[in-house]
Amino acid sequence: MQDINTKQIKRALLSVYYKDNLDLIINHLAALNVELYSTGGTLDFIEKLGVKAHSVESLTGYPSILGGRVKTLHPKVFGGILARRNHSDDKKQLGEYDIPPFDLVIVDLYPFEETVAAKLSEQEIVEKIDIGGISLIRAAAKNHEDVLIVSSRRQYGELLALLDTKKGETSLADRRRFAAMAFETSSHYDTAIFNYFNAAEDIPAFKQSVQEHIPLRYGENPHQQAKFYGKFADIFDQIHGKEISYNNLLDIDAAVNLINEFDDTTVAVLKHNNACGIASRTTVKEAWDAALAGDPQSAFGGIIIANRKLDAAAAEAINAIFFEVVIAPAYDDEALAILKQKKNRIILVRKDNAYGGSAQFRSLLNGVLVQDKDTKKEDAAGLVPVTTKHPTTQETEDLLFANKIVKHTKSNAIVLAKNQQLCASGMGQTSRIDALNQAVEKAARFGFDLHGAVMASDAFFPFPDCVEIAGNAGITAVIHPGGSINDKLSADYCNQHNMAMVTTGIRHFKH
């Protein structure tokens, strides 16, 4: 005895923009003797396959009008989709108005996001807002007790498997699953349209929809499940190594944001989202050597990123330590051969296209925080000397170098640098003094002479204690945002001890 929730597909409506693999679907339906109705280009496509189909115009008695804006918006179409088959009044009206019921609807949507991405005119973008398609999707999904809705070419494989194994029958569970996917399709589409219009309106609503995803082995810890939602392949080509992990992605994000600050040949090593070594030099090999010297212990198992092509000399040096990920815009053949010696090592080629959007958001409590990305970049012209002694040219270069690093270091943060090289940093401390002491101790442990080095702080100094500690360690120049009512105390100390200090007016907290 057949389950009352099992339905046989007898009649289908097809109206799609993309025709990829549609022939496989049509041939399956034809083999099952399914009666087909279609519109415009889809109808032409079906008929060229030698399969019989009815035009929607023959059903409605109306042609496609308004330049194709109205094709399927008619009671004879939507009545056939929305009619409840177990509802006597609905069945009566189907007969009264000669409306054929549809068991399957296959429809997709105009390429709105692709049109926006192509930077076409607003008129062209608006014309790609689908009306009939989105209405058909919602109608068929709503009536999933009787109708199977296929709302995207991404679902063709699942539909083909269903047609093949069940010979045109569908269960309520099948139809409900496809309905859920249909509402995801319509929700994503409407979100894209809203965000396009809201870019100019700033209506206070948080709406994001990302369909592309990568299942991850686990989250931050093995007992946590995780996925990455986003178009990773738009930014990177992974040419070697194991699957990327949740923690790898966090470090990769931090690495790219940091290296974006630098125009000179630069290499950085990151661990737990913070730089443990970074340097700018004439060659990549020299930059790597200087970056590694910053903290050769923490570099073990870290993320390495360069903003220049990796050559064999750099690769040979990098290959001497264990690390999980290396990122560069390109690699020469010999460098790749060296780096691929470890089968699990993740090798990424960073593409030229833009990275990310203009906003950041994170979930917390029962909501979401949204803010603009911190894209402020300081330069020499924007530095305000607040001491009698001004920094030398070399000190100014080092101050700007250190300030770029402290911007991407977890607060409270202090960075010590010299000759375009990170000597040490203190990060994530509840006290700025603790962050500074951590940095001074670490620099000494790895053999750095801090005489003539500079210090960067991510926030102002409320008291002169930090500049006193820095001065005693050999620091000769300081950069910080300023803004404390006690700024003068720190500047006075610097004046008394022949130190230079500049302020930027821009705070770079990172929590």
Which residues are known to be catalytic?
Answer: 142, 272
Task: Give the integer Cα–Cα distance in Å for 494 and 77.
Answer: 80
d(CA 85, CA 469): 82
Rounded CA separation 237/239 (Å): 6
Q: Which residues contact 124 (CB under 8 A, 6 or more apart)?
A: 115
As to burial, measured by CB atoms within 10 angstroms (0-12 exposed, 13-18 middle, 19+ buried), residue 177 is: middle
Give CA 151 to chain center in angstroms.
24
Q: How far is CA 351 from CA 73, 250, 270, 273, in A?
A: 44, 18, 20, 21
Q: Which residue has the tokens 């870290």?
A: 302
Instruction: Indicate the DSSP class of residue 392.
Output: P
Radius of gyration of the chain (CA): 31
Give the integer Cα–Cα distance in Å for 300 and 297: 6
Residue 77 · residue 60 · CB < 8 Å = yes
Question: 352 — phi, psi (to 5°)?
Answer: -80, -15
